[in-house]
Amino acid sequence: MSRTILLIEDNEQNRYLATFLLDKHGYKVVSAVDGRSGIELAGTLMPDLILLDIQLPAMDGYEVARALRGIAALHAVPIIAVTSYAMVGDREKALAAGCNGYIEKPIDPETFVAEMEHAGSLPAAKLGNP
């Protein structure tokens, strides 16, 4: 059975690249283009992991992470911040908001899936199992 990942990302190119890489490794990816729709989708989808951009329109990723952590059914779901915010303290700010891990953009296509799995403590998906 493939793992479902919710990708909350407003940039179309970033969504495409992450989805391509994750699909290639056997993950099912469902996308949301903003925080509000991501929160709604997370509550109904119950994903195995959430990849969260921090720089989102209207509601930033920190607010989204806090809202997701306020949903009891999602407490055990790992949230990984995937962001271009890479200044001193940005990682800690994401973790304090409720993220379990942090990956800097631009992502490296060679290592992204392994970084995500490590950050989320998510075992590799089994290829070929939809």
| Full strand arrangement of the beta sheet holding 49-52 | 28-32, 4-8, 49-52, 79-83, 101-104
- Taking the C-alpha atoms of residue 129 and residue 69, their distance in angstroms, rounded to an integer, is 30
Q: pLDDT truncated to tens, each residue of the chain (130 aa)? A: 579 999 999 999 999 999 999 999 999 999 999 999 999 999 999 999 999 999 999 999 999 999 999 999 999 999 999 998 777 888 999 999 999 999 999 999 999 999 999 988 754 443 333 3
Q: What is the pLDDT of residue 6?
A: 98
Task: Single out the residue of 1, 116, 7 nearest to residue 64, CA to CA.
Answer: 7
> Is the domain 4-120 a CATH 2.70.50.60 member?
no
- Taking the C-alpha atoms of residue 38 and residue 86, their distance in angstroms, rounded to an integer, is 23
Q: What is the pLDDT of residue 107?
A: 95
Please tell me the pTM assigned to this model.
Answer: 0.91
Q: How far is CA 39 from the centre of its chain?
A: 12
Cβ(83)–Cβ(94) below 8 Å: yes
Give the SS3 label for residue 79: strand
Note the helical H segments in the chain: 12-24, 35-45, 61-69, 90-97, 112-120
Task: Single out the residue of 119, 107, 120 nearest to residue 19, CA to CA.
Answer: 107
Q: What is the pLDDT of residue 1?
A: 53
Q: What is the pLDDT of residue 120?
A: 81
Q: What is the pLDDT of residue 128?
A: 34
